[in-house]
Each structure stands twice: as C-alpha cells, then as structure tokens.
Amino acid sequence: MATTTQQSIEDQIAELRSQIEELREAFRARVSSAADDASERARNAVQTVREQGQGAIEAARNNPGTATAIVSTAGLLGFCLGLYLGLSAASDLRVR
C-alpha cells in the first residue's frame, strides 16, 4: 500500500514537472516573440527618426536664414522661460 501511494505521488510530481517545463517553453516562446516585435519597432523608430533628421538637415541647408531664425527664437524663448522660473523661485523664497 505504501509503495503504491509513494509511486502515485512520484507520478504526480513527474507530471507536475512536465507541466512546468511546458509552461516554461510557452513563456520562452512568448518572450522571444515580444522581444522580436520590440526590436523591430525600435528599428523602425530609429529609421523614421533618421529620415526626419535628414529632412530637417536638408531644410536647414536650403534655408539657412530660416533655420537661424528658428534656432535663435527657440534659444530666446528658453532663456526667457529660465529667467521667469528663476525669478519666480527667488520671489517664492523671499515670501516665506
């Protein structure tokens, strides 16, 4: 009787190990598929950014005055925003 119960338990353990291995294989397949998909999306994103960057460079080469005006305006806006935030933070410190 004890050997029959022990054999039954060993059979159940073997079955569970087999099921765990099947789950591992299924998980590996899904992870591999997801990684391949993410890699493909990243490649596409890099290619798109590269193409758009080349387009921006070409536009800047063809229109240097416009490019200079855009960069200067962005720099001026950034400076003004930084100055405003700095003064705002300084005035908040004085009030407290």
52 and 70 both lie in a single domain: no
Say yes or no: 46 and 14 in one domain: yes
Cα–Cα distance measured from residue 90 to residue 83, given in angstroms and rounded to the nearest whole number: 10
State the pTM of this model.
0.49
- The beta strand positions in 36-83, using DSSP E, are none
Give pLDDT, residue 93: 67
Query: Are residue 44 and residue 34 in the same domain, yes or no?
Result: yes
List, in sequence order, every beta strand (DSSP E) within 10-91: none
pLDDT tens readout for residues 14-64: 999 999 999 999 999 999 989 999 999 999 999 999 999 999 999 999 999
Please tell me the predicted confidence (pLDDT) of residue 96: 55
Considering the domain architecture, whether residues 84 and 51 belong to the same structural domain is answered as: no
What is the domain extent for residue 53? 1-62
Number of domains in the chain: 2
55 and 78 housed in the same domain: no
pLDDT exceeds cutoff 60 at 74: yes
CA dihedral of 90, 91, 94, 96, whole degrees rounded to 10: -110
